[in-house]
Structure 1
Amino acid sequence: MKQTRPYPRVTVTRKAERSIVAGHPWVYGTELTGAGPYENGGLVDVLSPRGSYLGTGFINDRSKIRVRLISRNANDRFDEAFYERRLRYAWEYRKAVMGGDLSCCRVIFGEADQFPGLTVDRFSNILVAQTLSLGIEKIKPMLFRLLHRILAEDGQKIDGIYERNDSAIRGLEGLEQNKGFFPLEGLPVPQETKTRITENGIDYLVDFENGQKTGFFLDQKYNRRAVARLCRGRRVLDCFTDTGSFALNAAKNGAERVRAVDISETAVGAAKANARLNGLQDRVDFEAANVFDLLPRLAEQAAGEYDLVILDPPAFTKSRRTVSGAERGYKEINYRAMKLLPRGGYLATCSCSHFMTEELFRRVLRSAAADAQVSLRQVEARRQAPDHPILWNVPETDYLKFYIFQVV
């Protein structure tokens, strides 16, 4: 490096250099070979073993991910204008790919938007943010102020930013858990922690204080629409319904009847409330039950009763160590669903775990079909909605695998 730069320097292994050059933004603690004095959460320049500049990122020696790169351009200046450009770029991207469908969408998707560890979801008039890295934690007051201003200038009404920092992952960064409204100058703090959104023509009450993740799963938006196209006149079983989104899409789009199941009484209560909100309470039967117990019983007692089954389970694995157990879980529910369906019936199934790769998930589905003695005719293979962009050089951003099959 020829010019003098204001950031401390760290040197990394050749393995880390290859990964960075290939486009991955993480450097693990085991990949550092040298480091000058630095402040946790501050910026450092990352150098190759030969001293070449590789990038600049946030460092934190409390985290296994020691450095999270935000730029590979040695000419970047990391001032407020830099972060404003990044935020505007993220918002313009959503405007381009969501076709005006912006009232409920993911505004910032971490590394995919070059804001490592930051998630921001929009639910109508509320932004819900989750910060999972120390570097972003330190600059979030600036980021939140800028983001609110950018949206306001674009005519978007945002009444508040609510922080859902109640994730255990924060502990891995040396951060405490918390949740609550972030104070924005000139705006009163909202009194409610629920808001109303409309997705695919269906209204939902979003509990962004206590709901799963940030309050609602936006990544399945267009997958719900794809399944809904098949629902007219069909008898639908929606497993792991959560707040009822797949079930309500089915009912609204002409399903003969819908049964929706979740193990959580709280989720079922929220789903019932959403059904009433849309006048669909007489079209969907909700129940609290364990899907792993229910599917075998239905396969024995009610085979052929349903001609469309939806499987939208939570992530069965969040690490490589538990993948084999997750494979068994995914196979079990898919096998049971295939046994339950008649020939000509439809199965919509997915995995939302990055560690359950597409190759592994397809292998599980093939094995389940072989054991169930059925063939699968693929209707569609889908991913998360485009407001959750996938960077091909960052496989962690590619997590949702979604398939629609006809059982033949």
Structure 2
Amino acid sequence: MGMAVVTLKKGEGRLLKSGGMWIFDNEIDTVMGNFENGDIVLVHDFDGYPMGRGFINTNSKITVRLMTRDENVDINEELLEKRVRDAWEYRKKVVDTGCCRLIFAEADFLPGIVVDKFSDVLVVQSLALGIDRFKETIVKLLRKVLAEDGITIRGVYERSDVKVRKQEGMEMVKGFIGPEFPTLVQIEENGVKYEVDVKDGQKTGFFLDQKYNRLAIQKLCKNAKVLDCFTHTGSFALNAGIAGAASVTGVDASQLAVDQATANATLNGLSDNVKFICEDVFELLPELEEKGEKFDVVILDPPAFTKSRNSIKNAVKGYREINLRAMKLVKDGGFLATCSCSHFMDYELFTKTIGQAAKNVHKRLRQVEYRTQAPDHPILWAADESYYLKFYIFQVCNDR
């Protein structure tokens, strides 16, 4: 039985032709042949020109995710091993591999799967039906490739408990892949130690994408009074603390996060000058302003206020509001680190929103640096969803 063939409508497949990996439901003219969702299919342009092979899922708006542009290549263990090996060789060159993202979905040509390495534990998140079939094989291959470098993986945990799986017609799942193991893992990043809860932490347990952005704030925090908003497990706050900040206040709306962050401060011997409070940032910032509080450094690392194009207006309001409030709390000549991890809040819109906030509170911004996600989350050009993190450091000056 031959493979089913997906043929594009004339003039469609623009994303694919510019180097992307996705084919949307409205770009497809016909699907000829038998297939089950999750199967590998051939992709042809409207005139029969071969475009490659990918896996199909008619439940999803992203109907086909391309695995290869060569339609003669089999999607088998050999191909997967090459992809896994390439991903690891790349990580060894660009990041500290003690903790890093090993596989970043489309950007590593393994669409729909993410694998994070926390010391000797792997956390897997599978978001697409087609790749889900290969999940166990990819884990096996990662173990093999890492073992060649003398790295033994003690356990693997799956965190596919995410809503986007429902759009693929899949159940949300979490649990061990292979033998059970203690799911609290101690890691070290930039000289800071953390307890990571891979079972119940957010996403895969810890946000590795900010690794070098946390490092970038260290030099600004020596002897400083620092406010870290949306601190999650305390990562920016602890980087400030380890850099010799005079005092650090970390704020998060989740008591669980605050408890974890407090434990992390103890782990690093920083409990004296790094404190965490459970508060809503939107309510806290105006209160601090009323009290006349000022900080040398304010850090904003909010969750994605928008997960879709439709809610972008409200997101812009949210980003403008917190940035405006934060600027008022920065001493003249102090620093603001601010970011957005929402793919829909793109570079231009984020930049414009911060500009509006500064104008509204009559502050002048001097850009110290602009950064994005760490290089273990490579940005694949033409796969726009792989570029999501925008990170600015500004010096905030009063109007002069």
Q: Given that residues 67 and 75 in structure 2 are in contact (C-alpha distance below 8 angstroms), is that contact kept between their aligned partners in structure 1?
A: no
Matches within 5 A, 1:358-373: 358-373=347-362
Aligned pair partner of 2:341 in 329, 338, 352: 352
Q: Given that residues 17 and 54 in structure 1 are in contact (C-alpha distance below 8 angstroms), is that contact kept between their aligned partners in structure 2?
A: no
For structure 2, which runs of at least 5 residues remain unmatched after alignment? none
Partner of residue 381, structure 2: 392
RMSD of aligned C-alpha atoms?
1.1
The code of the aligned residue for 1:27 comes to I
Partner of residue 322, structure 2: 333
**Structure 1 position 94 matched with structure 2 position 84:** no
Aligned pair partner of 2:303 in 296, 309, 314: 314
Partner of residue 116, structure 1: 111
Aligned pair partner of 1:211 in 198, 201, 219: 201
How big is the shift at 1:8?
Answer: 1.3
Aligned equivalents of 1:191, 1:364: Cα separation in 2? 45
**Structure 1 position 75 matched with structure 2 position 65:** no
Aligned equivalents of 2:166, 2:13: Cα separation in 1? 28
How big is the shift at 1:400?
Answer: 0.2
Partner of residue 186, structure 1: none
Partner of residue 195, structure 1: 185
Once the two structures are superposed, what CA deviation does each residue of 1:130-170 show, in whole Å capped at 9, x if it has no partner? Answer: 00000111121221111111111111120111100111111
Aligned equivalents of 1:78, 1:264: Cα separation in 2? 43
Pairs aligned (count): 396
Q: Given that residues 16 and 27 in structure 1 are in contact (C-alpha distance below 8 angstroms), is that contact kept between their aligned partners in structure 2?
A: no
| TM superposition score normalised by structure 1 | 0.95
The code of the aligned residue for 1:162 comes to Y
The code of the aligned residue for 1:22 comes to S
Aligned equivalents of 1:206, 1:261: Cα separation in 2? 18
**Structure 1 position 180 matched with structure 2 position 169:** no
Q: Given that residues 227 and 295 in structure 2 are in contact (C-alpha distance below 8 angstroms), is that contact kept between their aligned partners in structure 1?
A: yes
Aligned equivalents of 1:351, 1:249: Cα separation in 2? 19
**Structure 1 position 63 matched with structure 2 position 55:** no
Q: Given that residues 132 and 169 in structure 1 are in contact (C-alpha distance below 8 angstroms), is that contact kept between their aligned partners in structure 2?
A: yes
**Structure 1 position 29 matched with structure 2 position 25:** yes
Aligned equivalents of 2:205, 2:292: Cα separation in 1? 34
Once the two structures are superposed, what CA deviation does each residue of 1:333-386 show, in whole Å capped at 9, x if it has no partner? Answer: 000011111210100000000000000000000000000101100000000000
Partner of residue 225, structure 2: 235
The code of the aligned residue for 1:96 comes to K
For structure 1, which runs of at least 5 residues remain unmatched after alignment? 184-188
The code of the aligned residue for 1:126 comes to V
Moved more, 294-303 or 272-281: 294-303
Partner of residue 142, structure 1: 137
Matches within 5 A, 1:280-319: 280-303=270-293, 305-319=294-308
How big is the shift at 1:16?
Answer: 3.0
The code of the aligned residue for 1:134 comes to L
Aligned equivalents of 1:308, 1:381: Cα separation in 2? 16
The code of the aligned residue for 2:125 comes to Q
SS where residue 328 of structure 1 aligns? Answer: helix
Aligned equivalents of 2:79, 2:231: Cα separation in 1? 41
Q: Given that residues 299 and 337 in structure 1 are in contact (C-alpha distance below 8 angstroms), is that contact kept between their aligned partners in structure 2?
A: no
